[in-house]
Structure 1
Amino acid sequence: MESNKVWFVTGASKGLGLTLVKQLLEKGYSVAATSRSLNQLEEAVGAHSNFLPLAMDLQNEASVAEAITKTIGHFGSVDVVVNNAGYGLAGSLEELTDAEARQNFDVNVFGSLNVIRSVMPHLRKQGSGHIFNIASIGGFTGSFPGFGIYCATKFAVHGFTESLAAEIKGFGIKATVVSPGYFRTNFLAADSLSTPQNELAAYAEVREIQAAHQNQINGNQPGDPEKAANAMITVAEAENAPVHLFLGQDAYDLAYQKMGAVTKDLESWRSVGTTTGFAKEMA
């Protein structure tokens, strides 16, 4: 594989982002990586000649633009962008406040859009590039009680990545939405998964699912983040990269279940759903 590409990775101080950055550096790529805490990022990754650690506030457009400018100033270009920063949010739709829901969207959705707006002029100018937006299998199927808002943010990532891929294809730039299943990172740890400030006792099932994620699933996820990172690098080097990249057997199983359920609903209600057009006038 070529290793002369410059990668820009957000949310790189832990989880999949950190694993990806370490693997990229080992393979000889140049990497600019961001985190809210520069010290945490530097400690997690260590010192490398081809590594540029950056403190960046995703919700601040000026901060994002400065990080992109510093990356290009340091390495001369940016080729692969990975919008990885984000966090999980548990809680029923009734429990979560407007502020809690909006904050999840601000980081998981609008943060990535801030990066895209800042980097696109550079990618268009060079006529090449690849943008990876990290979503989730929860952005393809929303049947997870207690994760409605989080799923909604990741559904948004799916939607805007599909549009982005169509918008930038003519400039020679690719876009891929990544939908991981359960990978053994710290995503379900207390510092990455937020819970409602005001829990309602009525939502017993939501509490059970929330507890299962925090206690049973956390640390026992089937996915290996090293292999997920390697898969993304492979896709980045592919001539015909996919718009949709699902990672993990569990993600594949859930995706096929969702497509099957949609197909069933389409066919079951075809006689009703296709009778909504204007009646054709008789000649």
Structure 2
Amino acid sequence: MNTSPNTWFVTGASKGLGLALVKALLAHGQNVAATSRTRASLESIQTEGKAGQLLPLEVDLSDADSVQRAVDATVTRFGRLDVLVNNAGYGQQGTLEAMSDAEVRRNFEINVFAPINVLRQALPHMRRQRSGHVINIASIVGFQGGYAGWGSYVATKFALAGLTETLAAETAELGIKATVVYPGPVRTDFLSSGSLMLAARSIADYTEAQASLDLHLDSLAGQQAGDPERLALLIMQAAAVEKPPLHLFAGRIACHLAQQKMNTVTADLDAWRAASMATDFAA
């Protein structure tokens, strides 16, 4: 693995995958700008790494000015910005009929528009360097979305995946790479009461959605198969190679569900190919 001192900008760095990634980066001698909503939440990593490696930043990711100050401070401190990791986000549970407009919009604000805010500020520096790598942390639900009761969260992660594909097409000529990461269930506090948002309203008829919520909270929480420290190393590995993947699946569950989705799409495509092609104008 390449351990030359690159500069990483990691959002959502105070817990979960973000915290594991920052610790791994510092242990490998990288420079890290770590963001969170409060500086105090970053205290646990203040003593990690060597002096001068870590720049803890209090950032409101929904505020463009706050993001700009953070990115500018990173470049001022380290001289460049090599890898951006859009990791911050949260899960919103609730059926599409039951969720309020405010609940859905807030989920998109943090999971989609906040990464766009960061991209707008980071890309000019990468463009001037003619180098850089954007890594957007989605979820396997951003590729295989068949989960009752998770429509808002699924939609935000599909949006982030599509955004990454477009970004890769736009920035390839500038030497900037892009990767979307699709982790399966990772053993973090994602399903804790402080991280997971539940819709204020529920509708009793949607029994599958309630069963999915119960499964996640009662059976999956604390038992997720994914190891955040190993996932952090996978992300670092992908950032260190000359040709990183555009799509990076993480964990057995993610790989299985991705293959299942591709098989389903292929079956639909084959079954309806003739009818689909017949919708074109006659040659």
* CA distances 1:162-211 after superposition (whole Å, capped 9, x unpaired): 01001101111100000000111111111111101011122222112101
Give the corresponding residue for 1:37.
Answer: 38
Structure 1 stretches lacking a partner, 5+ long: none
Residue 145 of structure 1 deviates from its aligned partner by 0.6
* CA distances 1:211-236 after superposition (whole Å, capped 9, x unpaired): 11112101001111111000000111
- Distance (whole Å) between structure 1 residues aligned to residue 208 and residue 131 of structure 2: 47
Give the corresponding residue for 1:2.
Answer: 3
Give the corresponding residue for 1:160.
Answer: 163
For residue 270 of structure 2, the aligned residue among 262, 267, 271 is 267
> 1:198 is aligned with what amino acid?
R
State the Cα RMSD in Å: 0.9
Structure 2 stretches lacking a partner, 5+ long: none
Give the corresponding residue for 1:213.
Answer: 216
* CA distances 1:14-48 after superposition (whole Å, capped 9, x unpaired): 11000000111111111001000110112x31334
Give the corresponding residue for 1:24.
Answer: 25
- Distance (whole Å) between structure 2 residues aligned to residue 205 and residue 173 of structure 1: 42
* 1:114 and 2:108 matched: no
Mapped contact 2:188–2:228 kept (Cα < 8 A): yes
* 1:97 and 2:100 matched: yes
Residue 271 of structure 1 deviates from its aligned partner by 2.1
Residue 65 of structure 1 deviates from its aligned partner by 0.4
Alignment: residue pair count: 279
Residue 277 of structure 1 deviates from its aligned partner by 1.1
Give the corresponding residue for 2:232.
Answer: 229
- Distance (whole Å) between structure 2 residues aligned to residue 40 and residue 163 of structure 1: 33
- Distance (whole Å) between structure 1 residues aligned to residue 46 and residue 85 of structure 2: 20
**Which aligned segments of 4 or more residues in structure 1 are displaced greater than 3 angstroms?**
none
Give the corresponding residue for 1:136.
Answer: 139
Residue 279 of structure 1 deviates from its aligned partner by 1.8
* 1:78 and 2:81 matched: yes
- Distance (whole Å) between structure 2 residues aligned to residue 272 and residue 30 of structure 1: 55
Give the corresponding residue for 1:183.
Answer: 186
- Distance (whole Å) between structure 1 residues aligned to residue 131 and residue 227 of structure 2: 30
Give the corresponding residue for 1:258.
Answer: 261
SS of 1:176 mapped into structure 2: strand
> 1:25 is aligned with what amino acid?
L
- Distance (whole Å) between structure 2 residues aligned to residue 147 and residue 57 of structure 1: 25
* CA distances 1:53-99 after superposition (whole Å, capped 9, x unpaired): 00001100000000000011111111110000000111110111111
- Identity, % of aligned pairs? 50
SS of 2:56 mapped into structure 1: strand
> 1:46 is aligned with what amino acid?
Q
Stretch moving more, 187-196 or 250-259: 187-196
Mapped contact 2:181–2:247 kept (Cα < 8 A): yes
Stretch moving more, 12-21 or 200-209: 200-209
